[in-house]
Structure 1
Amino acid sequence: MNFVSRKLWIVGGMSLALGACAAKNVAPVRYSLGLMRAEYHDYAGARANICDVEPRAVSDELGAVNKLLADFLSSTEQVKNPRSVDHGRAVELLKEATGSLDKVLDVHQSNLREVRKCGFATSGAFPELAKQGTELVEQSRARLTGSTQLLAVKEAQRKWLEEAPQREQTARQTWCAKNPEVGSTDLYYARKYADGHTEWLFCDGHIVRSTTNGGEPTLVSPEGLSARERRKVRPPRYLDAAQGYPAEEIDKQPTSVAGAAATSDVSAASGN
């Protein structure tokens, strides 16, 4: 072995040793989401080469993170279906994932990209792990992006419900007489919920309600009416008043990002 070859051999050997050492010294990151757990290494962040790590360890790590992402997607599948028994759990899991899962996705994507450069990339389970991992990262990013908007709407809907009694009270004080007469059909406030059902509130305590499935509105009378007061009630007049109420004046629970923004603007303007 000549001097140049010996020098290259020494430098190459040192580089491999340093790379292996650096890979071994990358601190593991333990991530938990709900009941899900996974451990991964940020090789790129530590300037280490994932190819210097024992293939079995790399395979186990990629598989574990893939499983976590698959479980995340499965557990949040019903997030847009309020009628599902899993809806509440899905919303809470998305809240927990927002702001934390992005880092996992970035590192996992980087590791999947770098592992394709390794000598063992085409052996064993690596081709399938890389394919599945890439798909799961893309799907998880899409779920998180959609959840950001969804959670904003959910928060706006919660705030709308919380503040609705105050808006109702303000409207009553503005439009109703101190002692409204039963049967007067003075309508002071209407609200439409996100599920589609609507309520029209009258100063004498009557309420017209529509259902979510497009059924005919019904009149609900307050409790405690005397026989004389009941004789004054003409249901068609209440139904006509509700039908004639301007749609643009109905207090609507947000169902979209734009609606959520509008609700925030109204709350800010009212000082809430």
Structure 2
Amino acid sequence: MKVTGRRVLLAALGASLSACASRPAPPVLHYSLGISRADYRDYGGAKANPCDAEQRWLSDELTAINGVLARFVNGTDKLDTPASPDHAQQVELLKEAQQTLPPVLAVHENNLRGLSRCGFKDKGAFPEISRRGGELVKEARERLSSADSVLAAVSLRQAQDTWKEESPQREATARGTWCTADPKIGEATVFYARAALDGTFRWHFCDGSLVEQRAGAEPTYVEPEGLNKRDRRRIQPPRYLEAAANFPAEEIDRPPETGTPKSASPTP
């Protein structure tokens, strides 16, 4: 009876060990972000235990993803500095990370959580890998959480830059449409109005006159350069101020407020 019982116990133990041994390690996955590359495994997704992994492999995999995250965090540290020479490159890295990094972050966080249950978690480099990994996951998530607002601001700046660059052409087109070849001095005809990015409004007149209103100030008349005395007598500033005040507000050329640039020219 004792022999039979021992055989049953050994058979059960052998079957259990065989079942554990038959479960293959998760396949190696490859990830790239910018110039960074890393190989890793999704232990949780494969219902595998990272504690059963070869410790050297696990250490290399976790370290590799930590490296990718560190380069991402450090490589997107100038997103709030548009004047930085690296800004455009960092924006592209953020765009790529927004599309591809979240699932890798989830796997890495799960692998680090699994490591915390391993008997070797306090050995070798694992304590530092775990500590640094937790920090990087948090920092990377914070960076990604701000991606929508950062990219929207970038898109808006680009749209406003395009609008500003194209403003002279819109002004020239409006002049050619609404002004005669030889406009008469003193005829207060507005052909184009623009609201600048700094909040200044300018109404342009066919005879070269200008009405300007800076933010928080009253509008003022600005006469054309080089006027002789006779032409100057023809100008009545109140007429220009009145014309500017009566110009339709919806036809003022305004900077875009979203990332879609304004392309249509205002029509007086």
TM-score by length of structure 2 reads: 0.70
Contact 1:197–1:209 at 8 Å: present in 2 too? no
Amino acid at match of 1:203: F
The answer for unaligned runs of 5 or more in structure 1 is: 212-218, 268-272
Distance 1:56 1:202, change over 3 A: same
Amino acid at match of 2:16: G
Local SS of the residue matching 1:149: helix
The residue aligned with 2:266 is none
Cα RMSD of the aligned pairs, angstroms, is: 4.4
The residue aligned with 1:214 is none
Distance 1:109 1:198, change over 3 A: farther
Residue in structure 1 matching 2:18, options 3, 8, 14: 14
Is 1:120 aligned to residue 123 of structure 2? no
Distance 1:107 1:68 in 2: 14
The answer for unaligned runs of 5 or more in structure 2 is: 215-220, 264-268
The residue aligned with 1:178 is 179
Is 1:251 aligned to residue 242 of structure 2? no
The residue aligned with 1:33 is 33
Listed as ranges, the matches of 1:1-272 within 5 Å are 2-19=6-23, 22-23=24-25, 26-162=26-162, 165=166, 169=170, 177-179=178-180, 184=188, 186=190, 188-193=192-197, 196=198, 198=200, 200-204=202-206, 228=228, 232=232, 251-254=254-257, 259=258
Distance 1:208 1:91 in 2: 40
Q: Deviations along 1:162-216, whole A, 9 cap, x unmatched? A: 467489849x859x843355674848422343xx4756351346778999xxxxx
Q: Deviations along 1:6-53, whole A, 9 cap, x unmatched? A: 13311331133124xx11xx2222222221221111222222222221
Distance 1:10 1:136 in 2: 42
Count of aligned positions: 245
Distance 1:220 1:60 in 2: 71
If asked which structure has higher relative contact order (CA below 8 Å, sep 6+), I would say 2
Distance 1:187 1:150, change over 3 A: farther
Larger Rg: 2
Amino acid at match of 2:11: K
Distance 1:220 1:45 in 2: 71
Give identity over the alignment, percent. 34
Distance 1:177 1:16 in 2: 84
